[in-house]
């Protein structure tokens, strides 16, 4: 199947009542681990990188182009349906920089923007992207975030309102919509969000585009499955993946002494290869939770 559009992936998910995972990567090892999981599970998948926790100067100078090319190369070799996302750019300019760089879908992180700016910049991104057959994910509402000390900052959170979602989709023409329904960004503890399944249902009945749930790292399996049943067709996971990879990497450090073997060799003892195996296993588990296994 190789590279397919995000709307095609999400249409299949909606019809089959499952969700496709966007598993955010940060290097070649994590990209390869994601696709290894998709191949093993025979699952459609969305790969890519994001701007929310990355150095924006680096992204704009080389990162977006570098990872777009890497994603393209790996996705072309994939035997499962694969879309390539530049996720949560900090501005129109940054996300527009991903157009023509190997991604077939883009998204801006717009939490805290005024309504006028949100509509104007999203509409502009949609126009520029659709001219190149690139899809756009938009967002309305704002997620609470877990801070570095493990506290939940609810001051920035704002539940997506139904009328707000309708107006946004109508005004911008986005291809899918990320909603704030109790989901939380950056969860690394045992904190359990409370997903408003009823709000997902209300929004799904009111708009004609697929719905997206960010904050998959802290959302337990039963709530993710309830969200999928209510109309979610794409779930984003990032923080949890770095947590799994980092723990496996830390556990492996010091077990070998030959730097030629443990750093970048791609042999079994390569520290990043060891961590990648743990990452692949976690992504396979999530695909099973999402119901996308076997849907390729």
pLDDT at position 177? 98
pTM: 0.96
In a domain, residue 171? The reply is yes
Sheet holding 144-146, edge to edge: 152-153, 144-146, 184-185
Please list, in sequence order, all residues whose beta carbon lies within 8 angstroms of the beta carbon of residue 276, skipping any fewer than 6 positions away. 29, 30, 32, 33, 36, 245
In a domain, residue 295? The reply is no
Q: To the nearest whole number, what is the mean pLDDT of the chain?
A: 95
Q: Give 94's pLDDT tier (boundaries 50, 70, 90).
A: very high
Higher pLDDT, 105 or 157: 105
Q: Give 25's pLDDT tier (boundaries 50, 70, 90).
A: very high
End-to-end Cα, the chain, rounded Å: 8
pLDDT at position 76? 97
In a domain, residue 120? The reply is yes
Q: Are 183 and 215 in contact (CB under 8 A)?
A: yes
What does each C-alpha distance from 5 to 2, 128, 274, 284 come to in angstroms? Answer: 10, 16, 32, 22
- Taking alpha carbons only, the member of 95, 89, 100, 28 closest to residue 54 is 89
pLDDT digits (tens, 9 = 90+) for 112-123: 999 999 999 999
Task: Report the CATH number at residue 106.
Answer: 3.20.20.70
In a domain, residue 58? The reply is yes
In a domain, residue 183? The reply is yes
In a domain, residue 296? The reply is no
Q: Give 145's pLDDT tier (boundaries 50, 70, 90).
A: confident
Tell whether the model's pLDDT for residue 154 goes beyond 90. no
173: left (phi over 0), alpha (psi -120 to 50) or beta: left
SS3 for 122-174, per residue? HHHHHHHHHCCCCEEEEEECECEEECCCCCEECCCCECCCHHHHHHHHHHHCC
Mean pLDDT of 20-25: 98
pLDDT at position 97? 97
Please list, in sequence order, all residues whose beta carbon lies within 8 angstroms of the beta carbon of residue 176, skipping any fewer than 6 positions away. 6, 7, 10, 135, 137, 138, 209, 210, 211, 212, 233, 234
In a domain, residue 78? The reply is yes
Q: How far apart are CA 122 and CA 139, in angstroms?
A: 9
Range of the domain at 265: 6-290
In a domain, residue 1? The reply is no
How many domains are there within the chain? 1
């Amino acid at each position: 199947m190789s590279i397919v559009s995000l709307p095609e992936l999400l249409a299949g998910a909606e019809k089959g009542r499952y969700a496709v995972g966007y598993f955010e990567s940060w290097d070649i090892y994590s990209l390869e681990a994601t696709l290894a999981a998709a191949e093993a599970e025979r699952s459609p998948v969305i790969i890519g990188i994001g701007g929310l926790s990355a150095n924006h100067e680096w992204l704009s100078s080389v990162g977006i182009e570098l990872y777009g090319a890497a994603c393209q190369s790996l996705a072309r070799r994939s035997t499962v349906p694969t879309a390539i996302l530049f996720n949560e750019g900090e501005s129109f300019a940054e996300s527009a920089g991903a157009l023509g760089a190997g991604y077939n879908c883009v998204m801006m992180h717009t939490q805290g923007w005024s309504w006028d700016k949100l509509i104007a910049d999203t509409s502009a991104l949609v126009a520029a992207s659709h001219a190149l057959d690139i899809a756009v994910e938009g967002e309305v509402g704002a997620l609470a975030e877990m801070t570095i000390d493990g506290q939940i900052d609810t001051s920035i959170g704002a539940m997506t309102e139904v009328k707000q979602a309708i107006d946004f989709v109508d005004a911008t023409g986005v291809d899918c919509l990320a909603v704030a329904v109790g989901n939380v960004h950056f969860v690394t503890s045992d904190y359990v969000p409370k997903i408003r399944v009823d709000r997902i249902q209300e929004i799904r009945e009111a708009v004609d585009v697929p719905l997206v749930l960010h904050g998959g790292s802290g959302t337990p399996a039963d709530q993710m499955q309830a969200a999928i049943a209510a109309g979610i067709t794409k779930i984003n996971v990032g923080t949890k993946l770095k947590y799994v990879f980092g723990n496996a990497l830390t556990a492996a450090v010091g077990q070998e002494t030959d730097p030629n073997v443990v750093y970048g060799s791609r042999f079994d003892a390569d520290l990043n290869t060891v961590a990648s195996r743990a990452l692949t296993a976690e992504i396979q588990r999530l695909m099973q939770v999402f119901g996308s296994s076997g849907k390729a």
